[in-house]
Chain A
Amino acid sequence: MNAHRSLTRREWLVLTCAGTLAFFGIWALASLAGLTSRQFLPPPWTVAEKFVELTYQPFSGATLQKHLLSSFGRFGMGFALAVLIGIPLGLILGWFRWADAIVSPLFDALRFVAPIAWVPFAALWFGTGIGGPVLIIFTGAFPPCVINAHRGARYVDQTLIEAARTLGARHWHIITEVLLPASVPSIVAGLRVSAGLGWQSLVGAELIVASSGIGYVLVKGQASISTSIVMSGMIAIGIVGFAIDALLRRIEVQLRRRRGDER
């Protein structure tokens, strides 16, 4: 066994291709073998066809892009709200010990409630309006924002704070001028987690309380027992989730590089 050694580029390429082929091959075989009906497990190409078809032929009221757009709008609102409230809150909790002592127990208690468990209240408070999904996304995306801003503020180099103090900085100044810039890496790392959880919560919310959006496509596909529609929706969700994560990771890398250069 010579396992730990690294592979040559060619070996790697061959194995990766083989792996990809194996994945699609097993899927196609399972579908063609006739174990279940094609409707339950369509082969990959049928799903691909369906995916393309959904982009120009409206399904439950809109094309796939339009559904994605409305999902993305909700996601943007919930995520923005979580960031705008969560990060200042995290910084404040990181600075004022008394605030931390008061808020943290509550926060910890609420955090154990899975975001999706807010769905009945979301429906009760907002009906089928936009508020419901936004609330769910918010509850999913909020904790990582708070936790990472809090942690970032906690681990700021003490000398920076003392220096700011000697120069006469007030609480507010220390938070905005010292804690915020110093905790940016931690905050951005939190944003990635938060966006991932928010996107996932969005899907959950739309599965239950929505009449448009990508989650709704899944529900409708499920109701009409069309696996190819469900799978197309899952692929779209995966692509958007991946894109959001890639964007944030890019920002993270860029930021780290710039900060590294400055020092």
Chain B
Amino acid sequence: MARIRNGRSEPSRLAVGGLTLLGVILLWYVATSITQTIPPVYFPTPAEVLQALRQISLQGYADGRLQQHFFHSCWLVLMGFMVAVGIGVPLGMLMGWSRRAEAFVNPTFLLLRPIPPLAWIPLAIVWLGLGDAAKVLVIWFAAFVPAVINSYAGVRSIEPYLIEAARSLGVRGAMLVREVLFPGALPLIFTGLRLSLQACWTTLVAGELIGAIVGLGHVLYQAGLDLFPAMIVVGMIGVAIGGGLMTAALGWLETRAMPWHRR
């Protein structure tokens, strides 16, 4: 009854979580397959979902097998994300370092920032068509803004005396960036990367829903057209797993990149 402050131990929490998920799956089975409280037109039964999963991974659906869709989506996100990070982090750090650069670049940011990445999709389609290039452009945009803002904030968050100390020891130029500014900004940079990765993934799914040849969003789109609820669920699970895996990979990278920053 009373709240326990320290909480339970990790394994028992995991067990409760697992049990809950099992319970929900059981409930899902009962509600759709036995009592049919939820009509199968609106939500599929577990058996149908398994069937759809088998169909898409063996025979393929919406012009490709599950693996193809999955890896294609991941690949696009990765490309857009990397390019955005490659440009955004240095730009943000520059803005954080030099007030002049900040004053010069900031207006563009203030103008572009309120426009959500999803709103760029139609423009990208007008410019680049329905192919991968349009998606990479939009994903790039989704990742770019958070990458810049957090790198900027990261450099600003460095204690000035650290920079002063480094300077008085004669550290300057590339070495200052490598040894002081970059490591100092890294925690906030990673916060930005996590945000931008999520934005990328959402944007990609939206972009593929609107028009694509392969990809998880395309599976969702096709399943929606075919009124195939089981395949919609498969697509959604695919989206969840893709997003989860990428977030996990980034988390792993974060602990590797900042061994001194244990949380």
B105 touching A19, Cβ below 8 Å: yes
Provide the A177-212 mask, 1 if CB < 8 A to any CB of B, else 0: 000000000000000000010011101100110000
B-binding segment of A51-59, A72-80, A97-105, A255-263 = A97-105
B106 touching A16, Cβ below 8 Å: yes
A231 CA to B111 CA, complexed, in Å: 13
Provide the B83-108 mask, 1 if CB < 8 A to any CB of A, else 0: 00000000000000111100111111
B206 touching A4, Cβ below 8 Å: no
A241 touching B114, Cβ below 8 Å: yes
A208 touching B20, Cβ below 8 Å: no
Report the nearest B residue to A13, measured CB to CB: B103
A12 CA to B100 CA, complexed, in Å: 7
Indicate if B131 sits at the interface (CB-CB under 8 A).
Answer: no
A119 touching B99, Cβ below 8 Å: no
Contact residues in B for A113 (Cβ distance below 8 Å): 236, 239-240, 243
Indicate if B144 sits at the interface (CB-CB under 8 A).
Answer: no
Indicate if A45 sits at the interface (CB-CB under 8 A).
Answer: no
B121 touching A207, Cβ below 8 Å: yes
A238 CA to B8 CA, complexed, in Å: 45
Contact residues in B for A97 (Cβ distance below 8 Å): 3-4, 7-8
A234 touching B120, Cβ below 8 Å: yes
B232 touching A120, Cβ below 8 Å: yes
CB distance from B142 to the nearest CB of A (A): 10
Q: Kindly state the interface size class of chain B when it binds its partner.
A: 35 or more
Contact residues in B for A33 (Cβ distance below 8 Å): none
A-binding segment of B53-61, B64-72, B220-228, B254-262 = B220-228
Please tell me the number of chain A residues within 8 Å of chain B, measured between CB atoms: 68
Contact residues in A for B241 (Cβ distance below 8 Å): 112
Contact partner of A116 among B4, B120, B205, CB < 8 A? B205
Given A6-B99, A15-B103, A113-B239: A204 touches B122 (CB 8 Å cut-off)? no
Indicate if B251 sits at the interface (CB-CB under 8 A).
Answer: no
Report the nearest A residue to B173, measured CB to CB: A1
Indicate if B163 sits at the interface (CB-CB under 8 A).
Answer: yes
Report the nearest B residue to A226, measured CB to CB: B126
Report the nearest B residue to A233, measured CB to CB: B119
Question: Chain B: residues with CB nearer than 8 A to chain A?
Answer: 3-5, 7-8, 13, 16-18, 20-21, 24, 42, 97-100, 103-108, 111, 114-123, 125-127, 160, 163, 172, 201-202, 205-206, 209-210, 217, 220-221, 223-224, 227, 229, 232, 235-236, 239-241, 243-244, 247
